[in-house]
C-alpha cells in the first residue's frame, strides 16, 4: 500500500497499549501501524523520543458565545488554533438558540461561526432553552446529524434555564432516539437565594470576588446532579453531567453507575489543578466561572474519580474573556463574565499534572482526552484512537520539554491565563488533523477554514455498542475495544 506520510519511531499510544514504532498515513486516514514500516516515497515525520497520542477531543467549548453582556473572546479562528497547539483536533461547541429561535436556527448560526474559520474538525451540542417550543424540533436535529443536546439548570437571565419538566421530557426522547442529554447542574433557586442574601454594597466591599465561592457551596452542584440523575434513572435516558467540580458529585455518579443508571460525568482541567483560594488574589475575579473552582479535597476526589472510572472525560469549558471584559464586574461579582480560556493548555495540564505527577498513566490520559470523548459523543472509531481506518488525527509530544505559559506568545485571544507562569510539558511539537500537519515545531501552520463539521448518528453508551457498561469507559480504552480492530503489524 502506498503511504503518503510515515510517523517514525514514536512511543505510540493505542487502545491496546503502547508500542514503539511507526504510523502510516494514506490520505486522511491511518493506513498502517507497525514496528518498522516501509516509508519509500512517503514524507517521514520523525517521532523518535516522543509520545504519539490520538488527537484530543475537547467536547466542551464556547467559541464566540454571546454571554454575560459580552461575547466570548476566542472565536473559531483563535480558539481552534489554540487547541491545535495543545494537540486538540476536534472541538464540540454548544449551539444556543436566542430570542425566539428554533434549534435549527441555532445550528445554522453556529455553522456560520465555524465555516471558513475552523482549523480543526467540529460539531455542536444543541441547546434546548424553551421546552415548549423546542421539544418537537429534537427529532429534526437528530436527522440533521446532531445527537447530543444540552440543558442548563441555571442562567435564567440569559433565557437558557430548563426546569425538571424539560429535563424529564428530554431524557425520555434521548432514550427513544439513542441520543444524549448534557446537563449543567447547579441548583438555581437556592443559588438565587444565597446570591440575594449576599448582594449588598457592604458585603461586596468587604468580600469582592470571594462572594462567588461564598454563594456556591458544594450542595448547589450536588443537589442538582442528584436531581438530574433521578430523571435519568426514571426515564432510562442517557445523561452526561458537564464540568463536574465537586467530590459530592463524583460520589453521586459512582453510586448511580453502580446501580446501572446511564450517566456519564466530565470534569475540566481547571477543576483538577486549581482551587478556590484563587479568589483571594487581587485579580481573583478573572477566575470566576460556573461552577466555580472548589476546595483541594474536591480536586483530589476528581483525580480519584478519573482513575476509578466515575469521571470519564476531561474537557475545558473554554469560554474566554479578556481582562477588559472581566473588568465589567466593577466590584459586583454577579456581573463578572463567567468563564476562562483553556483549549491551549488542556493536554499540557493533563500531561504535566496527570501523567508526569503519577496520577494517570499515559494510556489513561489518552482515554480521558480522546477515546472516551470520541466514543461517548458518537465519533468513534473515526476519532479518538490510533488504529487502522481512523482519521489521522495525532499529537506528537516530547515527554519532558516544558514551556512557560505566556499569554502574549499563545494563540488564544486571551491576554491572561489561569496558568500564567506555569511550566508545562505536553504542548504539541506536531499536530496532524486528517493527515495534514497543522502544527509543526510548536507553531501553527495549518490553513484556516480547513476544519470540517462532523455528522453523527448516535451518542452515549448507545454509541459504544450494546451493553457497554458505563464503568468500562473509565480505566483506559483497553477493555471494550477488540484487538482485531487495531491490526498492529509486528508491534511488541
Contact between 5 and ligand URP per CB under 6 A: no
108: its cell numbers: 445554522
How far is Cα 261 from Cα 124, in angstroms, rounded to an integer?
Answer: 25
Write the CA distances from 392 to 58, 181, 270, 446, 481, integer angstroms.
Answer: 17, 29, 28, 15, 18
Contact between 79 and ligand URP per CB under 6 A: no
Coil vs helix vs strand at 33: strand
d(CA 470, CA 488): 27
Closest CA relative to residue 81, chosen from 429, 434, 343: 343
Decide: is 319 part of the binding site for ligand URP (CB under 6 A).
yes
When CB distances are held under 5 to 8 angstroms depending on the partner's kind, the choice from ligand URP, Zn ion, none that residue 59 binds is none
Q: How far is CA 125 from CA 142, 183, 401, 433, in A?
A: 11, 11, 35, 21
* Member of 25, 252, 290, 470 binding ligand URP (CB under 6 A): 290
Supply the DSSP symbol for 484: G
Position of minimal CB gap to Zn ion: 184
Nearer to ligand URP, 289 or 302 (CB): 289
Shortest distance in whole angstroms from residue 264 CB to ligand URP: 17
CA dist 74 and 337 (Å) reads 14
C-alpha cell at 97: 438558540
From 222-230, 317-325, 359-367, 379-387, span contacting Zn ion (CB under 5 A): 317-325
Does residue 266 touch Zn ion according to CB under 5 A?
no
Rounded to whole angstroms, how far apart are CA atoms 264 and 253? 7
Stretch that binds Zn ion, among 125-133, 178-186, 215-223, 275-283 (CB under 5 A): 178-186
Torsion from C-alpha of 394, 396, 402, 404, nearest 10 degrees: -40
In whole angstroms, the minimum distance from the beta carbon of 318 to ligand URP comes to: 9
User: Count residues contacting Zn ion (CB under 5 A)?
Assistant: 2
Kindly state the smallest distance separating residue 224's Cβ from Zn ion, in Å. 11
Query: Which lies closer to ligand URP via its Cβ, residue 149 or residue 427?
Result: 149
Nearer to Zn ion among residue 51 and residue 184 (C-beta): 184
Spatial neighbors of 50 by CB under 8 A, at least 6 apart, are: 10, 11, 396, 397, 398, 399, 429
Interface with ligand URP, residue 117, by CB under 6 A? no
**Site stretch for Zn ion (CB under 5 A), options 183-191, 199-207, 272-280, 475-483:** 183-191
Grid coordinates representing 345?
A: 493548555
Query: What Rg value do the Cα atoms of the chain yield, rounded?
Result: 21
Is 184 a residue that touches ligand URP (CB under 6 A)? Answer: yes
Q: Which does 224 bind (CB under 5 to 8 A by kind): ligand URP, Zn ion, none?
A: none
Based on the shown chain and the rule CB under 5 A, indicate whether residue 184 belongs to the binding site for Zn ion: yes
Q: What is the CB neighbour count within 10 angstroms for residue 108? A: 12
338 binds, among Zn ion, ligand URP, none (CB under 5 to 8 A by kind): ligand URP
Cell 503519577 sits on residue: 358
Tell the smallest beta-carbon distance from residue 62 to Zn ion (Å): 5
Say how far apart CA 171 and CA 192 lie, in whole Å: 26
Planar angle of CA 265, 61, 394, nearest 5 degrees: 85
310 CB neighbour count, 10 Å cutoff:
28
Other CB atoms within 10 A of residue 41 CB: 9
Q: Shortest distance, CB of residue 95 to ligand URP, whole angstroms?
A: 13
Question: Residue 292 Cβ, how far from ligand URP at the closest point, in Å?
Answer: 8
317 binds ligand URP (CB under 6 A): yes
**Residue 74 within binding range of Zn ion, rule CB under 5 A:** no
Q: What is the nearest approach in angstroms of ligand URP to the Cβ of residue 17?
A: 35
Binding flag, residue 216, Zn ion (CB under 5 A): no
Return the number of the residue (110 or 351) whose C-beta is nearest ligand URP.
Answer: 110
Q: At its nearest, how many Å lie between ligand URP and the CB of residue 146?
A: 18
| Interaction residues for ligand URP, span 121-160 (CB under 6 A) | none
24, 3 Cβ separation under 8 angstroms: yes
Among 260, 126, 223, 130, which Cα is nearest to 181's? Answer: 126
Ramachandran angles phi, psi of 261, nearest 5°? -70, 135
Nearer to ligand URP, 338 or 362 (CB): 338
* Closest distance to ligand URP from the beta carbon of 458 (Å): 24
Binder of Zn ion out of 101, 248, 298, 317 (CB under 5 A): 317
Query: Choosing among ligand URP, Zn ion, none, which partner's interface includes residue 289 (Cβ < 5 to 8 Å by kind)?
Result: ligand URP
Binding positions for Zn ion, rule: CB under 5 A: 184, 317
Binding positions for ligand URP, rule: CB under 6 A: 62, 184, 289-290, 317, 319, 338-339
Amino acid at each position: 500500500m502506498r503511504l503518503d506520510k510515515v510517523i517514525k519511531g514514536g512511543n505510540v499510544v493505542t487502545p491496546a497499549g503502547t508500542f514503539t514504532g511507526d504510523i502510516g498515513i494514506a490520505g486522511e486516514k491511518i493506513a498502517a501501524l507497525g514496528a518498522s514500516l516501509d516509508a519509500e516515497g512517503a514524507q517521514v515525520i520523525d517521532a523518535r523520543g516522543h509520545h504519539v497520542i490520538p488527537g484530543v477531543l475537547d467536547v466542551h467549548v464556547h467559541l464566540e458565545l454571546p454571554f454575560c453582556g459580552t461575547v466570548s473572546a476566542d472565536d473559531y479562528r483563535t480558539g481552534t488554533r489554540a487547541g491545535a497547539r495543545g494537540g486538540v483536533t476536534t472541538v464540540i461547541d454548544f449551539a444556543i438558540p436566542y430570542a425566539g429561535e428554533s434549534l435549527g436556527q441555532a445550528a445554522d448560526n453556529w455553522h456560520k461561526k465555524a465555516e471558513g474559520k475552523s482549523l480543526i474538525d467540529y460539531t455542536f451540542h444543541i441547546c434546548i432553552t424553551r421546552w415548549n417550543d423546542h421539544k418537537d424540533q429534537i427529532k429534526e436535529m437528530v436527522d440533521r446529524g446532531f445527537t447530543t443536546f444540552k440543558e442548563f439548570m441555571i442562567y435564567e437571565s440569559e433565557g437558557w434555564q430548563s426546569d425538571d419538566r424539560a429535563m424529564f421530557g428530554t431524557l425520555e426522547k434521548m432514550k427513544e432516539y439513542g441520543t444524549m442529554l448534557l446537563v449543567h447542574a447547579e441548583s438555581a433557586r437556592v443559588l438565587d437565594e444565597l446570591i440575594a442574601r449576599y448582594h449588598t454594597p457592604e458585603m461586596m466591599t468587604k468580600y469582592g470576588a470571594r462572594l462567588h465561592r461564598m454563594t456556591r457551596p458544594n450542595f448547589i452542584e450536588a443537589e442538582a446532579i442528584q436531581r438530574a440523575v433521578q430523571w435519568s434513572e426514571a426515564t432510562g435516558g442517557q445523561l452526561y453531567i458537564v464540568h463536574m467540580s465537586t467530590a459530592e458529585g463524583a460520589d453521586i455518579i459512582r453510586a448511580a453507575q453502580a446501580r446501572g443508571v446511564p450517566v456519564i460525568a466530565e470534569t475540566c482541567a481547571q477543576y483538577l489543578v486549581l482551587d478556590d483560594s484563587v479568589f483571594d488574589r487581587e485579580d481573583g475575579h478573572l477566575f470566576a466561572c460556573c461552577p466555580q473552582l472548589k476546595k483541594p479535597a474536591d480536586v483530589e476526589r476528581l483525580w480519584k474519580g478519573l482513575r476509578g472510572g466515575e469521571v470519564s472525560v476531561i474537557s475545558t469549558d473554554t469560554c474566554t474573556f479578556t481582562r477588559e471584559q472581566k473588568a465589567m464586574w466593577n466590584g459586583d461579582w454577579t456581573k463578572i463574565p463567567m468563564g476562562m480560556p483553556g483549549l491551549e493548555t488542556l493536554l499540557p495540564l493533563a500531561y504535566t499534572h496527570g501523567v508526569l505527577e503519577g496520577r494517570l498513566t499515559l494510556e489513561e490520559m489518552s482515554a480521558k482526552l480522546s477515546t472516551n470523548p470520541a466514543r461517548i459523543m458518537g465519533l468513534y472509531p473515526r476519532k479518538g484512537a490510533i488504529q487502522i481506518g481512523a482519521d489521522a488525527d495525532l499529537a506528537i509530544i516530547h515527554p519532558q520539554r516544558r514551556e512557560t505559559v505566556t499569554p502574549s506568545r499563545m494563540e488564544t485571544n486571551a491576554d491572561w491565563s489561569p496558568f500564567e507562569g506555569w511550566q508545562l510539558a505536553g504542548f504539541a511539537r506536531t499536530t496532524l488533523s486528517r493527515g495534514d500537519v497543522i502544527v509543526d515545531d510548536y507553531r501553527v501552520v495549518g490553513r484556516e477554514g480547513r476544519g470540517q463539521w462532523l455528522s453523527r448518528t448516535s451518542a452515549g453508551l448507545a454509541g459504544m455498542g450494546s451493553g457497554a457498561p458505563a464503568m468500562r469507559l473509565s480505566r483506559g480504552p483497553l477493555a471494550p475495544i477488540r484487538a482485531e480492530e487495531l491490526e498492529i503489524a509486528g508491534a511488541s
